[in-house]
A = this chain, B = another copy of it.
Amino acid sequence: MNLKELATRLGLSPTTVSRALNGYPEVNEATRERVVAAAKRHNYHPNTRAIRLATGRAMAVGHVIPIATRHEIVNPVFADFIAGAGETYSRNDYDMVLSVVPDDDEEKTYRGLKSKGNVDGVIVHAPRMKDPRIPLLREIGLPFVVHGRATGTAEPYCWLDVNNRRAFQRATEFLLDLGHVRIGLVNGLEFMDFAIRRRTGYVDALSARGIAPDPALMASGEMTEIAGFRSAQAMLALPDPATAILASSMISGMGVRRAVESAGLVVGRDVSIIIHDDDLSYMKNGEDVPIFTATRSSVREAGRLAAEMLLGVIAHPDSGPQQRLLEAELIIGQSTGPALKN
């Protein structure tokens, strides 16, 4: 059943039927009701491909996922962000198209997306310092929103980010207030923008109390369990070991916890742990009482909001670059406690 058939059946022109269904004013209310009823009765759904060609809009948003040789973006955090963004798209009748491409094809992919007209805009994931995708997208004129920020980019652009610096600053201050001095940081890879900001927050908090950051207490790597384990193990084995550790994710936090426990120490008593909790739906930080004390910010919610921002930018291309900074909450769990006097 297509528009023409439906129109014939109703004894109307395709024009009128189209207008009736799309809510245009120049159609008699009685006619509209008749059309709407017939459309429902015959289970008519306009063909998306035709709409797209006729309107010149793709009604779709792209997410480009590089199959990285050096760093995996396909991680649990990404999945939850996508889920959140997808909710927004569904509600707005947009499609979400994911392009999984070898990372040296990334630029070609963005250019293709634009020139072939597959999408109306894209979300940029996991920005790095001076991320080249930002000038690229501006150059080719494809609307975009960055999830995170890219330090070192001069021109303004649309982004939505968590205040990572402030979150880690607060977490560090919290540990300092508990009397901890030897505080370790198990960070993500420090070419990622968020990791840089987190370290800044951590260092700032220490410096404000006159504590010089100790390189031995600052690790950086993939946010995996095993990496968390190893980094924490090293920090606990120091002559002057860490008594508290900040971990960059739930998963690396689990590695840190394993290191603490396998050193015969008790989490929350001998060693405090604070993680960053993305509030992943399948990886809750406890149910009622959080297991870990954490800086929490829902990445799924971030996905929803970033998608909304992008749809806004697509609808109003010259409304100027929008920006939004979300604050993480500091939630107190069972993994932190006062530093032991000795």
Contact = CB atoms under 8 A, between A and B. Distances in A.
Contacts of A341: none
A116 B47 contact: yes
Contacts of A286: 226
A112 interface: yes
Give how many copies assemble into the complex.
2
Contacts of A78: 79
A72 B50 CA distance: 35
Interface string A50-80: 1011001010100001010000101110111
B83 A74 contact: yes
Given A79-B75, A80-B74, A100-B90, A49 B117 contact: yes
Q: How many of chain A's residues touch chain B, expressed as a range?
A: 35 or more
Interface in A81-135: 82-83, 85-87, 89-90, 95-101, 112, 115-118
Contacts of A41: none
Interface stretch (A12-20, A29-37, A175-183, A276-284): A276-284
Contacts of A283: 224-225, 251
Would you call the interface of chain A mostly helix, strand, loop, or mixed? mixed
Contacts of A100: 82-83, 85-87, 89-90, 96
A282 B52 contact: no
A319 interface: no
A65 B87 CA distance: 10
A147 interface: no
A116 B79 contact: no
A47 to B, nearest CB: 5
B254 A284 contact: no
Nearest to A222: B282
Nearest to A84: B100
Contact of A86 (B53, B98, B261): B98
B115 A43 contact: yes
A45 interface: yes
A48 interface: yes
Contacts of A223: 282
A10 to B, nearest CB: 19
A50 B52 CA distance: 8
A231 to B, nearest CB: 15
Contacts of A284: 224, 226
A291 interface: yes
Given A52-B53, A96-B100, A226-B284, 7 more contacts: A45-B115, A74-B80, A75-B282, A79-B79, A96-B98, A223-B282, A261-B262
